Amino acid sequence: MNALDQIFVSLQRALAGLAPVPARPLLAMILNIAGLMAVFGTCFALTTILERKILGRMQNRFGPNRVGPCGLFQPLADGIKMLIKEDIVPFSADKTLHFLAPLALTVPVWLAFAVLPFGRNMSAVELDAGILFFFAIGSASELAVFMAGWSSQNKYSLLGAMRAIAQMISYEVPLVLAGVPVLMAAGSLSLPDIVQAQSGFVLGCVPRWNVFTPWGLAGFTLFLIAAAAESNRCPFDLPEGESELIAGYLTEYSGFKYALFFLGEYLGLFAVTGLAVTLFLGGWQAPAAWLDWLPSWGWFAAKFSALIFLFIWVRATLPRLRLDQLLMFAWKFLVPLALVNLFVAAVWWKWPAPLTARWLVCAALLAAPYVWLGRTWNGPTSQERHYHYAE
């Protein structure tokens, strides 16, 4: 079973060993890049068709069912359409920035995958501060969105870019704060070390995953909400509000450039989902000792797939928020609750009390602010909106 668990590591080392000694590090790096692009490129194609199928099932309609058996070749048809579609660039646009914006969104996301541990000994790059690298490289997406809106010389594109940046910056704060208690618990910024810190079991049967603690469950929920907003997923898909801003910062994009933006958003969702699995769900750790015989990368893939399904389910369920609701939710609810969660995590680790007492006290410390913030985040003077329509 160890051979199956390390099959990709062994294959990479065997292929790299075929090259001359000076060229082996370069070949190993190329193999890592090719593997990541192949795996997550395939995940992108599968997710697009499965999401449309699942949404159709949840909304009592058919999804794609014409191209190939059961519509399974629909991603291929979409890719061919984007490749042969005419690339239209506005006459007054900044041609250079208009061309570079989709690349600036897509390339950093590929780099973020390099530090994620997808299985035992399966990190492309093991950095001592891997999580800092992840958040730093992910912040480049705001620049790409601004480049797209500004370079298009279109007022709808610029407005879409501005509110997209406001949303992404607002939700980066709770996203980072939700992960800080995990760093406190692990005592390391290395993602493989964070996974190792969650190994073992409590009371002999409960995995020592962070999600099974009060602060971990709260942080996991906050992280998923902020991740949905960072990835422009419903109900936070305002940057592409077709009913309000045509297509937001993508208004003047077509063809393969539009496809790159589409790819970048899905890859960003995959990256933050992989980080959520690493920080809160034990990474590649098995949920029970008797399940250790399954390969570690299989467990990571199972947890990853479950969270992707959750994001699809939320998209099929919730309507889009208004911009004012979205920003107030971030600054008046998520950020204060994430700060409270930091205090609760400190109490959990520093208070030498029995496990049951710590659970009850920490849960109460989180429940009280949650109820209070939920009742007051709209403000005590907020009034119901009244809409008037022409008759």
Give me the pLDDT at residue 62, please. Answer: 84
Token reading at 182: 């995990």
* Alpha-carbon radius of gyration of the chain: 23
With cut-offs at 50, 70 and 90, classify the pLDDT of residue 302.
Answer: very high
Give me the pLDDT at residue 382, please. Answer: 54
Give me the pLDDT at residue 258, please. Answer: 85
Backbone angles phi, psi at 61, to 5 degrees: -150, 175
> In this predicted model, which residue has the larger pLDDT, 353 or 115?
115
Mean pLDDT of 296-309: 92
Give me the pLDDT at residue 242, please. Answer: 59
With cut-offs at 50, 70 and 90, classify the pLDDT of residue 19.
Answer: confident
Mean pLDDT of 24-42: 86
Closest residue by Cα to residue 131 from 207, 186, 78: 186
Domain that holds residue 371: 89-376
> In this predicted model, which residue has the larger pLDDT, 242 or 100?
100
Mean pLDDT of 276-304: 89
> In this predicted model, which residue has the larger pLDDT, 302 or 374?
302
Number of domains the chain contains: 1
Asked whether residue 385 carries a pLDDT value surpassing 80, the answer given is no
**Secondary structure element (H or E) that encloses residue 206, with its range:** strand 206-207
Which of the 8 DSSP states describes residue 129? Answer: T
> In this predicted model, which residue has the larger pLDDT, 238 or 55?
55
Q: Residue 192, preceding bond cis, omega within 30 degrees?
A: no
Give me the pLDDT at residue 200, please. Answer: 82
Whether 13 is in a domain gets the answer: no
* pLDDT 10s digits, 187-245: 888 899 999 988 888 777 788 899 999 999 999 999 999 999 888 888 887 766 656 65
Query: Could you write out the DSSP letters of every residue in 265-322?
Result: HHHHHHHHHHHHHHHHS-TT--SSGGGTTS-HHHHHHHHHHHHHHHHHHHHHHPPPPP
User: How many other β-carbons are positioned within 10 Å of the β-carbon of residue 157?
Assistant: 25
Euclidean distance between CA atoms 131 and 251, whole angstroms:
33
Asked whether residue 381 carries a pLDDT value surpassing 70, the answer given is no
Whether 99 is in a domain gets the answer: yes
Closest residue by Cα to residue 262 from 47, 39, 37: 47
Asked whether residue 152 carries a pLDDT value surpassing 90, the answer given is no
Euclidean distance between CA atoms 186 and 193, whole angstroms:
7
With cut-offs at 50, 70 and 90, classify the pLDDT of residue 389.
Answer: low
Euclidean distance between CA atoms 391 and 240, whole angstroms:
30
Identify which of 120-124, 309-313, 324-328 has the greatest average pLDDT.
309-313
Mean pLDDT of 301-327: 88
Whether 365 is in a domain gets the answer: yes
With cut-offs at 50, 70 and 90, classify the pLDDT of residue 390.
Answer: low
Give me the pLDDT at residue 280, please. Answer: 93
Q: What is the 3-state secondary structure (H, E, C) of 35-46?
A: HHHHHHHHHHHH
Euclidean distance between CA atoms 129 and 118, whole angstroms:
17
- What rounded mean pLDDT belongs to the chain? 85
Mean pLDDT of 300-324: 88
> In this predicted model, which residue has the larger pLDDT, 343 or 158?
343
User: Exposure pattern of 215-249 as b/e (b: 16+ CB <10 Å)?
Assistant: bbbbbbbbbbbbbbbbbbbbbbbbbbbeeebebbb
Whether 47 is in a domain gets the answer: no
Closest residue by Cα to residue 154 from 92, 100, 105: 92
> In this predicted model, which residue has the larger pLDDT, 200 or 300?
300
Question: Chain-centre distance of CA 383, in angstroms?
Answer: 35
Whether 15 is in a domain gets the answer: no
Whether 276 is in a domain gets the answer: yes
SS3 207: strand
Euclidean distance between CA atoms 329 and 114, whole angstroms:
32
Q: Please state the pTM of the whole predicted model.
A: 0.90
Identify which of 217-221, 241-245, 322-326, 347-351 has the greatest average pLDDT.
217-221
Give me the pLDDT at residue 204, please. Answer: 72
Give me the pLDDT at residue 311, please. Answer: 92
Whether 275 is in a domain gets the answer: yes
Q: Is 359 exposed, middle or buried (0-12, 13-18, 19+ CB in 10 A)?
A: middle
Mean pLDDT of 180-190: 89
Give me the pLDDT at residue 158, please. Answer: 82
Backbone angles phi, psi at 135, to 5 degrees: -70, -35
Cβ–Cβ < 8 Å for 388, 362 = no
Mean pLDDT of 29-34: 86
Closest residue by Cα to residue 272 from 228, 335, 320: 228
Token reading at 179: 């992960």
Q: Quick one: CA dihedral 249, 254, 260, 265, positive or negative? A: positive
Asked whether residue 270 carries a pLDDT value surpassing 80, the answer given is yes
Query: Could you write out the DSSP letters of every residue in 323-378?
Result: HHHHHHHIIIIIHHHHHHHHHHHHHHHH----HHHHHHHHHHHHHHHHHHHHHHTT
Euclidean distance between CA atoms 246 and 108, whole angstroms:
27
SS3 202: strand
Task: Give the distance between the most distant pair of CA atoms in the chain.
Answer: 80
Mean pLDDT of 159-169: 85
